[in-house]
């Protein structure tokens, strides 16, 4: 069994990419968004964290989280969110491929065909790093050809930043040459 080394810092801010199984485009469906939102809210009640930025695309999501002081356990949070979403998706046959035989490896691990097994994370080092990842999150729908401007994509925290007058923060950071190219 592989041991994945993850950088964990109590009270840290982290960038995540989480991808649907085989990049199936189900995340932006209304019922899927509802199930995901409810799962996140359920986990946040017991294991709080701040969502600093978010974008939901049809087959993946990116987000920035800040954990509470003295807490570094983001893997458990993601495990619980994925578990709740998977359970809810199974109870409501939303995704036809979920009820198919998942294969021996996934059966042994009691996994469904909802999420890719792993996610990608990066610990935010400083304000510059935060700005770069914030821009990456908000401009990701543009990068993928889903819209021509981040304000046109409805499933993003860009609108929250825009409402408080900080959209220029995201726009300015996007102009930086070292904006991360992760997917």
Residue ranges per structural domain of the chain = 13-174
Look at residue 6 and tell me whether its pLDDT is greater than 70: no
> What is the rounded CA–CA span in Å between residue 144 and residue 140?
6
> What is the rounded CA–CA span in Å between residue 111 and residue 102?
8
> What is the rounded CA–CA span in Å between residue 112 and residue 117?
10
Of 71, 182, 80, the residue nearest 135 (C-alpha): 182
Would you please indicate which residues are annotated as catalytic (active-site) residues? 155
pLDDT for res 52? 96
pLDDT for res 93? 62
pLDDT for res 98? 52
Look at residue 97 and tell me whether its pLDDT is greater than 80: no
pLDDT digits (tens, 9 = 90+) for 17-66: 999 988 989 899 998 999 999 999 999 999 999 999 999 999 999 999 99
> What is the rounded CA–CA span in Å between residue 126 and residue 30?
35
| Angle CA 41–8–34, to nearest 5 | 20
What superfamily in CATH does domain 13-174 come from? Transposase IS200-like (3.30.70.1290)
Residue 66's DSSP bridge partners are 13, 50
- Given a contact cutoff of 8 angstroms between Cβ atoms, the answer to whether 12 and 118 are in contact is no
């Amino acid at each position: 069994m592989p041991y994945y080394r993850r950088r964990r810092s109590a009270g840290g801010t982290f960038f995540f990419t989480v991808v649907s199984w085989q990049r199936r485009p189900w995340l932006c469906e209304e019922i899927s968004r509802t199930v995901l939102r409810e799962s996140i809210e359920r986990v946040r009640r017991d294991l709080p964290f701040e969502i600093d930025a978010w974008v939901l695309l049809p087959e993946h999501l990116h987000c920035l989280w800040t954990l509470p002081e003295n807490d570094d356990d983001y893997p458990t949070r993601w495990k619980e969110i994925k578990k709740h979403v998977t359970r809810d998706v199974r109870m409501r046959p939303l995704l036809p491929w979920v009820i198919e035989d998942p294969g021996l490896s996934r059966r042994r691990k009691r996994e469904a065909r909802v999420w890719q097994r792993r996610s990608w994370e990066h610990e935010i080092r400083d304000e510059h790093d935060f700005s770069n990842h914030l821009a990456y999150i908000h401009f990701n729908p543009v990068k993928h050809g889903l819209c021509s401007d981040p304000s046109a994509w409805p499933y993003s925290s860009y609108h929250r930043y825009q409402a408080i007058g900080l959209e220029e923060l995201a726009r300015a950071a996007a102009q930086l040459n070292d904006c991360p190219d992760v997917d």
